[in-house]
């Protein structure tokens, strides 16, 4: 796959107190590259050279919040790390990994520098698909996409890895890269959409979910139209502690269907409070479908079912249109 005239390389890292491994797959020719730092070998310099290669965009799953941070650290401290024995390099990377995994606000300041470093180009398939509260791990994603070989590592990442188990770990690492490559292929349409938006509006949204894309676009456009700097807009907040919905529902909104009109009138009686978003929910039946409307919007309610399309059938999803 080529993106922005750069070759896409999928990658993933594994870190133990005494072993570091990075697996990369060239999506153009299928070549797999392996970089190891252990008692068996130390390929730190080869690793840095590969990630500094021009014309590559690296792709991972949750890499912006983990893998990229570690790689930026390695590149930044290459000269110092190169002069250390392998076990000290691995211990340093393990300590950094522990800080990242803990994800504590105070600790984040200690590795903040490498979060925002840009030694190499990368894209993140996790942040592309999900907003923060909906994100899932790679194993869950493998199950969701019905990947052929879902593997969970059966060892302890917090314990030293015996030399005779390193190859098993590498096989696990490769499998993660292969599944991420498959996911990348399935997200081709999503990638093309983001590249189109980037070309049309100048927004770098390759690793953004749809909500983040919309927020970024509205921020850009509002800043252009109002002349207010984006950083100022981000700090702006509504002074309203509560909002009567009758004051914000436009007067021309009305329905011919009596049931929908009743829902509208009921909504006009509601008041939304800034510190409380839950509490109101109204359910109604329309055309034999149950709907629920509340602060979060309107949704149809269905009994969970499994559908198996025939060879000449396609299962699609459409939002509702109420008139």
Nearest to 47 by CA among 3, 11, 7, 16: 11
Domain interval for residue 114:
2-186
Which residue carries 């081709």 as its tokens? 188
- Percentages helix, strand, coil for the chain, rounded to the nearest 5? 45, 20, 40
277 in any annotated domain: yes
Both 254 and 144 in one domain: the answer is no
Q: Does residue 318 form part of some domain?
A: no
State both tokens at 170.
């590498």
Over the stretch 149-176, which tens digit does the pLDDT of each residue have? 887 878 888 999 999 999 999 999 999 9
- Write out pLDDT tens, residues 58-67: 999 999 999 9
Q: Of the candidates 122, 157, 186, which is a domain's last residue?
A: 186
20 in any annotated domain:
yes
Residue 170 lies in a domain: yes
Is 225 domain-assigned?
Answer: no
CATH of the domain at 176: 3.30.420
| CA–CA–CA angle 15, 183, 219 (5° rounding) | 95
Average pLDDT of the chain is 88
How far separated are the first and last CA of the chain, in Å rounded? Answer: 43
Pick from 93, 54, 56: which is nearest to 71 by CA?
A: 93
Say whether both 151 and 253 belong to one domain: no
| Structural domain includes residue 156 | yes
What pLDDT is recorded for position 172? 93
- Is 270 found in the same domain as 130? no
pLDDT for the residue 167: 94
**Torsion over CA: 125, 129, 135, 137 (sign):** negative
User: Is the same domain home to 180 and 248?
Assistant: no
172 and 30 within one domain:
yes
pLDDT tens profile 119-145 = 999 999 999 888 767 778 888 888 888
pLDDT tens-digit readout, 105-118: 667 888 889 999 98
Structure confidence at residue 137 (pLDDT): 84
In the listed set 162, 186, 210, which residue is the last one of a domain according to the structure? 186
Count of structural domains within the chain: 2
Specify whether 164 is located in the same domain as 22: yes
Helix (H, G, I), strand (E, B) or coil at 11: strand
- Position 278 scores a pLDDT of 59
Residue 107's pLDDT is 78
Mean pLDDT per 10-residue section of the chain, whose length is 323 residues: 92 97 96 96 96 95 94 96 95 94 79 91 91 78 84 85 94 94 92 90 87 88 90 80 86 91 89 68 86 80 83 75 53
Alpha helices in 64-104 (DSSP H): 67-76, 78-82, 86-102
User: What pLDDT is recorded for position 318?
Assistant: 67
pLDDT at site 123: 94
For the chain, state the CA radius of gyration.
25
DSSP 35: E
In a shared domain, residues 268 and 182:
no
Model pTM score: 0.73
pLDDT of residue 204: 87
**Apex CA 20: angle with CA 119 and CA 42, to 5°?**
85
pLDDT at 275: 67
Is residue 95 a part of any domain in this protein? yes
What per-residue confidence (pLDDT) applies to 105?
A: 66
Residue 295 parent element (H or E)? none
Do 140 and 30 lie in a common domain? yes
Alpha helices in the chain (DSSP H): 44-51, 67-76, 78-82, 86-102, 105-115, 125-129, 138-144, 166-186, 188-201, 210-226, 230-235, 258-268
* Rounded Cα gap, residues 255 and 265, in angstroms: 10
CA angle (160, 163, 169) in 5-degree steps? 75
**235 domain residue, yes or no:** no
Residue 220: per-residue pLDDT: 87
126, 61 contact by CB (below 8 A) = yes
Which three-class secondary structure state does DSSP give residue 299?
strand
Phi, psi of 278, deg, nearest 5: -105, 170
């Amino acid at each position: 796959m080529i993106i922005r005239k750069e070759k896409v390389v999928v990658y993933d890292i594994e870190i133990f107190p005494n072993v570091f491994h990075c697996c990369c797959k060239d999506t153009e020719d299928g070549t797999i590259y392996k970089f190891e730092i252990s008692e068996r070998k130390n390929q730190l310099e080869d690793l840095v050279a590969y990630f500094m290669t021009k014309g590559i965009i690296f792709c991972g799953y949750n890499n912006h919040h983990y893998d990229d941070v570690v790689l930026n650290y390695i590149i930044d401290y290459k000269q110092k790390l190169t002069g250390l024995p392998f076990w000290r390099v691995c211990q340093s990377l393990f300590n950094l990994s522990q800080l990242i995994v803990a994800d504590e606000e105070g600790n984040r300041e200690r590795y903040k520098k490498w979060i925002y470093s840009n030694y190499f180009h990368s894209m993140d398939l996790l942040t592309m698909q999900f907003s923060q509260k909906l994100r899932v791990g790679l194993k869950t994603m493998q199950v969701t996409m019905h990947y052929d070989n879902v593997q969970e590592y059966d060892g302890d990442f917090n314990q030293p890895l015996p030399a005779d188990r390193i190859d098993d770990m590498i096989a696990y690492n490769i499998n993660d890269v292969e599944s991420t490559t498959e996911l990348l292929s399935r997200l081709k349409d999503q990638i093309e959409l983001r590249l189109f938006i980037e070309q049309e509006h100048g927004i770098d949204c390759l690793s953004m979910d749809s909500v983040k894309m919309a927020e970024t676009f509205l921020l850009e456009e509002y800043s252009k139209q109002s002349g207010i700097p984006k950083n100022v807009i981000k700090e702006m907040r509504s002074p309203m502690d509560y909002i009567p919905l009758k004051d914000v529902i436009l007067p021309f909104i009305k329905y011919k269907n009596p049931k929908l009109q009743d829902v509208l009138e009921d909504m006009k009686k509601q008041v939304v409070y800034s510190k409380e978003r839950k509490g109101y929910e109204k359910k109604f039946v329309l055309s034999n479908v149950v709907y629920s409307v509340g602060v979060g919007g309107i949704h149809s309610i269905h009994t969970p079912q499994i559908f198996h399309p025939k060879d000449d059938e396609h299962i699609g999803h459409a939002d509702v249109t109420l008139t």
